Structure 1
Amino acid sequence: MNVTRVHDESYVTLATNENYALGALTLGQSLRNTNTNRRLTVLITTEVPQLLVDQLKSVYDFVELVDVLDSQDSANLALLKRPELGVTFTKLHCWRLTQYRKCVFLDSDCLVLHNVDDLFNSEEFSAVSDIGWPDCFNSGVFVFRPSLDTYSRLLDFAVSQGSFDGGDQGLLNAFYPNWNRLSFVYNMTTNASYSYAPAYKQFKNTVKIVHFIGAQKPWYHTYNLDTQNVIGNVTVHEGDLINQWWRVFTQWVLPHLNNETKNRMRVQLVSRTPLVEQQQSQLVQQQEQQGFHQEQPQEQVYATGKVVGGVEIGSDVHKQKWEHGQIEYTGRDAFANIQAHLDAQIKK
């Protein structure tokens, strides 16, 4: 569908590595699916592989390489138990996008469910209250005006005042004490410990932007292509939202990923469909060419506590191998073995 773009306004996101580039691709496509008439911009660092940069250029109107800004505030970040948030200071580069009159920033772990172009009617600085401390705003979604002067003052403030949480959220809340409060539907956090389940049930159809806060992002979950459901211990409403992320990803992003990227990304797919079978076959061929030996599937081999190939099924080591993409599609982790394990659990 052809949409006339408003060229002086843009949605902006940030991808600091290949996993968040995966999120940015899905976010960008979710925005496209709402028929937005604003431009899409993504800031990237050198940690994003060139193959993904090329794909980002097919979704975003403008892709800009930026330097990583680190808060170097290990003490405060330790309080959050999220030391990786230091690099989110790189988010400050979005104030340098002076080709735009106004922008809406979205973290790359967000998913847009309905058109939110009305956000551009809000002024700087507009954001949604943080559920952990509602007097503060969550910096995953906010409306701002790019300005080199503001960018300079933010950097000076960061150096002189720091951030009370070590990340961009603490810095921005201190810099913008008088902010305009937006409805929670523009930045609904999914973490089960934060969400108010009865309210979600009442208002879920009005939610416009979902924000997958916390360390466990949608792309770290295992997803069954056949049932279109996430596999794992998640609440009903959280699972529903993660499923929506995966549906956008599998329909619009996955088909365009090259094999090298698929194998590197933490994408966990379970399916009997030809697509995944083909991917598994290609992976096996690559491993055989590299001299790897894979054991053949054995009936009922996927049983918790059983040691296969030196790895105990269900152990932390096994989990880490899954999370790092070290999956034995034709051996320990073959679909037939997983299915046998699920069948055994159901019978219990």
Structure 2
Amino acid sequence: MKEALRAYPVTRFAEQDFLNDFFKGHWNMLPLSFNWGKPNFWLCPELCRSEAVKVVHFSGAVKPWLRKPDGQWSDSVLARAIPEERKLLEDGNSGLTWAHEKWWSSFLFQTEAKVVCDATLSLRGDPRPACYSTLISGDSDYYKGVLALAGSLRRHGCRLPLLVAHTSDVPAAHCRAMREAGCELRLVDSEAFSSLRGTPKQPEFLVCYNKLSMWLWEDYKLVIYLDADVVVNRNIDHLEKLELPLDYIAAAPDLGFATNGTGNRNGERYFNAGVMIFRPDRRSHRRLMDALMTYGKITAYAEQDFLNDYFADRLVELPTEYNFIQDYWVGPSLPPSPMREESLRSLGEGLPAVVHYAGAKPWRCRLAERLLQGLSFGSEDERQRTVIALDRIQAEWEGALRAGTKTMSRAEDALRPEWGKECGGGIAGGPRKIRAEVGELQCAGARVPAA
């Protein structure tokens, strides 16, 4: 081989050209899946996420480690890519983006070293103080919730960035709308949870295990997680000052259906995972994942049950107003709870800092019609006060959606196709009528109920 190499000219692809000539007629072809080069991502896109792909080859000038810690690519790096590759790099849902996420997941699991990324920025060297985060998956209408969440943060002057963890099946149009609302998107790998067995209370709870991926976001010191069906009603940036030990979690107690539905809590503390605060750390993530694989089962409330067990003795309890679930206003639908009653009384006339629209969604129906259907109240006054409260938080959500979209017409266009899906046709006039009703009630001096 050395003698042949001495006589061989230097060619464009160097040793690859030489080895092809030297072993011509004397080599066996491996399946393409054992050396999946980057061109295959645009030539065979339908196969890119197939389990048959064993080895991905990041050939060419654009390498995964050149990506910035925020998940974006600098113009100087994109300039090195050929047009087909650049198009896939700019598409947050492409197979090539999925492959890069795989590379980063492998790196973060396997090394302690600092990664010097583009512009010599170290991934672990200088993390930013804090961020808000949320999660979305699939071709669902939850992106409307993300738009409203982003709008509510902007509306109340919150300065921390909102990062959206999303799976690869979120449509490009939804991703585009969220970016336009000021969100930073980060792709997560949901395959890590495919070995779990069991059935949650609702199928959409399965995607919630992807929240665990956020423990890998070491470019932030603190993550303030908010479900996509949440809006804030005041500035909550002060939560970034929470002095939280590593491997602890901060969350508000669940006072409703989840606590009563678990059956095995026996009065123990049980938090709702729709709002959580934690410190990202790769080793913490490894311990979380190891514990989850040992746990090995999917229970009624999925990741919420697991996280409650995992952090049972490492929980910093937040006041209920930081995760106030809409059902708390609907007294007859829940068993009496001294903590819930006290939470309602302590709010007075103001809305809680964070409202969680668990269950019925404000972009699908009128909450008062859906949540109060079939319930009986002690008096008509009690029922009317509950209607006022639910219509008020519906109006707050719509205001947040308007803030999260460029124009009011665009917000109503987003709502209209889904309006009434859960309420047998909804109400005449849709969002505009609710705003008018709430305005009239507020002008008449109506108060938010203290159940």
Normalised TM-score (structure 2): 0.51
SS at match of 2:150: helix
SS at match of 1:146: coil
Partners of 2:301 and 2:403 lie apart in 1 by 37
Paired position in structure 2 for 1:91: 211
Paired position in structure 2 for 1:157: 291
Q: Pick closer, same or farther for the CA change 1:239–1:210 going to 2, 3 Å.
A: same
Partners of 1:74 and 1:242 lie apart in 2 by 37
Deviation at 1:74, TM superposition (A): 6.1
Paired position in structure 1 for 2:347: 203
Q: Pick closer, same or farther for the CA change 1:148–1:255 going to 2, 3 Å.
A: same
Deviation at 1:239, TM superposition (A): 2.7
Is residue 2:359 matched to residue 1:218? no
Q: Pick closer, same or farther for the CA change 1:8–1:265 going to 2, 3 Å.
A: farther
Partners of 1:319 and 1:95 lie apart in 2 by 35
Deviation at 1:157, TM superposition (A): 1.2
Partners of 1:319 and 1:91 lie apart in 2 by 27
Q: Pick closer, same or farther for the CA change 1:115–1:74 going to 2, 3 Å.
A: same
User: Over residues 231-288 of structure 1, what are the superposed CA-to-partner deviations in whole Å (9 max), with x where a residue is unaligned?
Assistant: 65644222321221122224543738879x84896245xxxxxxxxxxxxxxxxxxxx
Q: Pick closer, same or farther for the CA change 1:251–1:114 going to 2, 3 Å.
A: closer
Contact kept, 8 Å, 1:219 with 1:267, in 2: the verdict is yes
SS at match of 1:220: coil
Equivalent of 2:318, from 162, 182, 186? Answer: 182
Deviation at 1:84, TM superposition (A): 2.2
Contact kept, 8 Å, 2:132 with 2:225, in 1: the verdict is yes
User: Over residues 146-190 of structure 1, what are the superposed CA-to-partner deviations in whole Å (9 max), with x where a residue is unaligned?
Assistant: 112122221211111135435110111111112011100100011
Paired position in structure 1 for 2:174: 52
Paired position in structure 2 for 1:274: none
Contact kept, 8 Å, 1:125 with 1:180, in 2: the verdict is yes
Paired position in structure 1 for 2:24: none
Correspondences of 1:295-314 after superposition (within 5 Å) = none
Paired position in structure 2 for 1:8: 129
Equivalent of 1:108, from 222, 228, 237? Answer: 228
SS at match of 1:219: coil
Is residue 2:395 matched to residue 1:243? yes
Paired position in structure 2 for 1:290: none
SS at match of 2:151: helix
Paired position in structure 1 for 2:21: none
Partners of 1:319 and 1:232 lie apart in 2 by 7
Contact kept, 8 Å, 2:208 with 2:303, in 1: the verdict is yes
Partners of 1:140 and 1:319 lie apart in 2 by 22
Structure 1 gap ranges (5+):
1-5, 224-229, 269-317, 324-332, 340-348
Rg bigger for which structure? Answer: 2
What amino acid maps onto 2:159 in structure 1? Answer: N
Percent of aligned positions that are identical: 25
More strand by share: 1
Deviation at 1:112, TM superposition (A): 0.3
Partners of 1:254 and 1:220 lie apart in 2 by 21
What amino acid maps onto 2:355 in structure 1? Answer: V
User: Over residues 278-334 of structure 1, what are the superposed CA-to-partner deviations in whole Å (9 max), with x where a residue is unaligned?
Assistant: xxxxxxxxxxxxxxxxxxxxxxxxxxxxxxxxxxxxxxxx979859xxxxxxxxx99
Contact kept, 8 Å, 1:102 with 1:120, in 2: the verdict is yes
Contact kept, 8 Å, 2:370 with 2:422, in 1: the verdict is no
SS at match of 2:398: helix
Contact kept, 8 Å, 1:128 with 1:187, in 2: the verdict is yes
Structure 2 gap ranges (5+):
1-126, 260-267, 373-385, 434-451
User: Over residues 112-136 of structure 1, what are the superposed CA-to-partner deviations in whole Å (9 max), with x where a residue is unaligned?
Assistant: 0011112122214111011133611
Is residue 2:169 matched to residue 1:169? no
Deviation at 1:139, TM superposition (A): 0.5
- C-alpha RMSD of the superposition: 3.4
Paired position in structure 1 for 2:165: 43
SS at match of 1:170: helix
Correspondences of 1:249-328 after superposition (within 5 Å) = 249-250=401-402, 252-253=404-405, 255=407, 262=414, 266-267=418-419
